[in-house]
Structure 1
Amino acid sequence: MRQTDVLIIGSGVAAFQLARKLRSDINVMIITKSHMKESNSYLAQGGIAAALGEQDDSEKHFHDTLAAGRYHNNPDAVRKLTATAPSVIKTLVQQGCPFDKDAQGKLLLGMEGAHSENRIVHGGGDATGKTIMDFLISQRPKNVEVIENSFVYEILVENNTCIGVKAKNEDNQIDYFLAHHVVLATGGCGQLYRYTSNAETVTGDGIALAYLAGAEIADMEFIQFHPTLLYAGGKTCGLVSEAVRGEGGRLITEDGKAIMKDVHPLADLAPRHIVSQTIYEYLSHGEQIYLDISPVKDFSSRFPTISDLCRKNGIDLKEKRIPVVPGSHFLMGGIQTDLVGRSSIQSLYALGEVACTGIHGANRLASNSLLEGLFMGENLARWLNTQSFSKSHKLPVWREPSENRSIKDLPDLQELKKAMMDHAGIVRTRAGLMSLINWLERFGGEQVGDGNLDHMQKDTLTRMFMLITASLIAKAALQRRESRGGHYRQDFPCEKNHGWQQKQIIHCRKKEKGKVDEQIKVATIT
């Protein structure tokens, strides 16, 4: 059993930003289930949005974020994010983070979909996530210990206060970690879907862990599907950044028809949910869609990561078009928190994609995710730095619950991914969602976590967490009888501003006297 002051689960941008901003006398542990560079943050091709241009300002960024989020956002949270964004970038530049600059040493500002100004800061062309993560990791203080290949599978809670976690090490042995403050920074749940841009480790663990512990989970119906994943050999092979369309790339059919021309005023730079739904419609009729890169000057030097990805998967860039499909990319919902990162369980926090802060609304604006991770990591650090960490204050000793629990069978992973893509993917219907929910409940649905977790292997635990998170998504999607942002219901194709705008669907699991009560409520965003 090990003890620390602050325990961080996950190794993305929010985790390392928090860790490096904490006081040097605070003992910090970062636990990650694989390697610390295996995360969505590290894979991120896109940049960081900040109003740094002469014609730009934070109010424009604020309004673009609300429009992309279909006004489901928390406006106060968005305004604080966009107002802080320029100083976040300037601070990183001053500290030595190597963002892309022009010959005069000024930051290059790119354009992406649904932005009204050039405000996207990049690093390494299309390797911004890697650039920032390498920088943050290089800044890791001596008081921060990183433990790799440790799979957290249970949050320890006493009297609605988180006191630590249980994890399995490389040898599948159980380790206990007790802490005064536990932070979930585990990312989203992209691997629940057949087509995804996400790292293989992003399986919804943090959301399921928090749900089983009794934390409130919000907005799970809002999944962003990135319009352009490279499609080769019958599968998705990685992300083709929206920045390609920002530089002039166009979505076309086999015969060269521009599919976005009359769909939206911004055409190929329309919000992601509109572009994804348009591509999906063509795919459903058997038409392959391509990204025409002929208008992009010096494509290989401008986008080295994407060019290398294409070559590795047999795509000849001389043909100037890349086959693409939409796939799951980002979760707008998650563990409900305030702008410090506090969840509904005392001493349990959430940062980054695993959290629902109200910033992204129903659809994340491009390049706001790395920004949110940096912003929220610093917010929580600032708050924790005001707390007392008395060395004389001892954590309670965790005692195992005495009940004997059992576990049901779990679904085949590929079958689960296909079912999610078919019924809780880009286009949803009541019939499809009901079919999915009934199928998930054959395996226990979101209540499957009442089994004995200690004796389960890590791959089985992963499938269990995926099942729980899938159930939360499906039930929220069934509940919201409208279309908004990343949630599109074919049977309710319009936004219902008088009934659903600023309304959240919140899941919470309460356990009293051995009985589990799952609650789903509709609440107004505050």
Structure 2
Amino acid sequence: MKHIIGAGIAGLAAALAMAPEPVTLITSGTLDHGAASLWSQGGIAAAIGADDSPALHSADTIAAGDGLCDPDAVSRIIAQGPAVIEALRRLGVAFDEGLGLEAAHTRRRIVHVRDRTGLAITQALATAVRAASHVRVIERTIVRDLHAPNGVVAGLWIDRDDTPSYLPSDAVLIATGGIGALYRHSSNPAGANGSGLAGAARAGAVLRDLEFIQFHPTGLDTGLTPMPLISEAVRGEGARLIDETGARFTDELAPRDAVSRAVFHHLGLHHSVLLDATGISDFAARFPTIDAACKASGIDPAVQPIPVRPVAHYHMGGIAVDAAGRTSIGRLFAAGEAACTGLHGANRLASNSLLEAFVTGQDAGRAMTMVTAAPDHIWPRAAEPRSDDTSLVSDLVSRHLGVLRDHAGLAIMIARLLPLAGGSDAALIALMTAVCAIDRTESRGAHCRTDHAAPSAQALHSSITMRQALSRAATLIDTSIHVGRAA
């Protein structure tokens, strides 16, 4: 049997693509609740406009990626945009008429279902999966770890109703989403805690570009957790970022990293930051989810500016994969936000994530059908227990791995996380990310170092394994101790 971990768009698309081969899809929530894909508001980017083309869409993607996009991955994924929209329409997704505009796009190419696009797509895929006889769905089940003797995946440990068990597997796809739930201010559901990345890391997989974490510049700043987003589509329709004086202080349609830094800086100067959408007619009809979230917090967007702040939103880094979703570990695949495909580079272009999730999930699912049955193997011992508590990790990540970073803060974070990394998924991934961030002594895309403000002359990817990260963390701590003694 082959297994897919995660029931967002990537996991669901992979499951459908594997027909008629049997596959088991495992989710910690249900097909209707828990995946980050369900929360996506803005839309899915595709070059379907009369004045648009995949080449223009690719150029915008590469420009936003700040030197780290893989041109082949960009071309391959972006070219499939129009076909993906048609495939989703056939599955029952009723897209709105007209195309939206979002930051750093030079054309209107955002295909949407009001402000509930992720929900509409995920529900359509989930309906198809429920009807697919080749897919077995296991809900409310946590995957604790992978068993990968000699660098080849052979099975996985699961926990269902507090009952642990082991499932042998011919191949595994990780489609568990990102790491946003490690932050205090996050747009992600609780399940986006890096567990899939941690399992791959313990199995020995190479992870790439972990330090690139995108902050959405306009989270609804009313104290809610997770923090609802005020979609970029609202700015695309003319909303302005202002402060308490009514003054506009940045270009709302600049790339997300630039807008997030501008908002963060303005907040740091003790200004309020507000998104003024009062000039958008029929706001409630055009953005019903956002309107409802605002009104639940006592704000009417039709007549009041909306308080906003940057919020952890999307992970450009992840498990390194090739064009078929294959990782550096045999029989292990990854897709969607959990994977680092090369599409986003250092800074994701808005609304490319749903397209990537569908395309890479589908491609990985097809590739998994080509994997032959695994030979018999010795069943492993039970998985080691790990803490699910993310409170300490969340404090450190939010303070030192946010919109702005520096060596001193990252060094503190590494020293505190290293003792915890063996017993916590969150601590392990936060540690690995901090090591990549401290070693990237430049500012590029979503990675901004206050002590290294300029970009390097050459754009280079980072890649790391768990063993390398633990060794590097120990060296950094040892060096810091010796420097401290010398001082």
TM-score by length of 2: 0.92
- Write out per-residue CA displacement over residues 5-38 of structure 1, whole angstroms, 9 at most, x where no aligned residue: x2001110000011111121x1111111122231
Question: Aligned ranges for residues 425-436 of structure 1 at < 5 Å?
Answer: 425-436=402-413
Write the letter of the residue equivalent to 1:278: A
Query: For 2:75, which of 76, 79, 102 is the aligned residue?
Result: 79
Q: How many angstroms apart in 1 are the aligned matches of 2:455 and 2:149?
A: 42
Query: For 1:198, which of 178, 182, 188 is the aligned residue?
Result: 188
Q: How many angstroms apart in 1 are the aligned matches of 2:159 and 2:128?
A: 28
Task: Show the counterpart of 2:443.
Answer: 483
TM-score by length of 1: 0.86
Query: For 1:58, which of 47, 54, 75 is the aligned residue?
Result: 54
Task: Show the counterpart of 1:162.
Answer: 153
Task: Indicate the SS of the match to 1:162.
Answer: coil
Task: Show the counterpart of 2:66.
Answer: 70
- Write out per-residue CA displacement over residues 456-480 of structure 1, whole angstroms, 9 at most, x where no aligned residue: xxxxxxxx11111110111110000
- Write out per-residue CA displacement over residues 395-444 of structure 1, whole angstroms, 9 at most, x where no aligned residue: 42413289xx798xx79633422221111100001111111111212x33
Task: Show the counterpart of 1:45.
Answer: 41
| 1:35 equivalent in alignment to 2:30 | yes
Structure with the higher strand share, 1 or 2: 1
| 1:399 equivalent in alignment to 2:380 | yes
Q: How many angstroms apart in 1 are the aligned matches of 2:150 and 2:301?
A: 59
| 1:472 equivalent in alignment to 2:432 | yes
Q: How many angstroms apart in 2 are the aligned matches of 1:275 and 1:386?
A: 44
Q: CA deviation at 1:326?
A: 0.3
**Which residues of structure 1 form unaligned runs of 5+?**
102-107, 261-266, 450-463, 521-526
Task: Indicate the SS of the match to 1:100.
Answer: coil
Task: Show the counterpart of 1:209.
Answer: 199
Which shifted more, 231-240 or 367-376? Answer: 231-240
Query: For 1:151, which of 139, 142, 145 is the aligned residue?
Result: 142
Identity rate, percent: 39
Q: How many angstroms apart in 2 are the aligned matches of 1:416 and 1:295?
A: 41
Question: Aligned ranges for residues 330-369 of structure 1 at < 5 Å?
Answer: 330-369=314-353
Q: How many angstroms apart in 1 are the aligned matches of 2:223 and 2:143?
A: 35
Query: For 2:242, which of 252, 256, 270 is the aligned residue?
Result: 252
Query: For 1:117, which of 98, 103, 107 is the aligned residue?
Result: 107
Write the letter of the residue equivalent to 2:176: T
Q: How many angstroms apart in 2 are the aligned matches of 1:379 and 1:307?
A: 36
Question: Aligned ranges for residues 92-107 of structure 1 at < 5 Å?
Answer: 92-101=88-97
Query: For 2:123, which of 131, 134, 149 is the aligned residue?
Result: 134
Q: Which runs of 4+ in 1 moved over 6 A?
A: none
Conserved 8 A contact 2:61-2:344: yes
- C-alpha RMSD of the superposition: 2.1
Write the letter of the residue equivalent to 2:239: G
| 1:444 equivalent in alignment to 2:425 | no
**Which residues of structure 2 form unaligned runs of 5+?**
474-487
Write the letter of the residue equivalent to 1:168: D
Structure with the higher helix share, 1 or 2: 2
Q: How many angstroms apart in 1 are the aligned matches of 2:436 and 2:165?
A: 34
Write the letter of the residue equivalent to 2:42: G
Task: Show the counterpart of 2:288.
Answer: 304
Task: Show the counterpart of 2:464.
Answer: 507
Q: CA deviation at 1:353?
A: 0.5
Task: Indicate the SS of the match to 1:269.
Answer: coil
Task: Show the counterpart of 1:320.
Answer: 304
Write the letter of the residue equivalent to 2:160: N
Matched length: 470
- Write out per-residue CA displacement over residues 199-253 of structure 1, whole angstroms, 9 at most, x where no aligned residue: 1211110111110111001101000000011011476631111000001011100
Question: Aligned ranges for residues 366-377 of structure 1 at < 5 Å?
Answer: 366-377=350-361
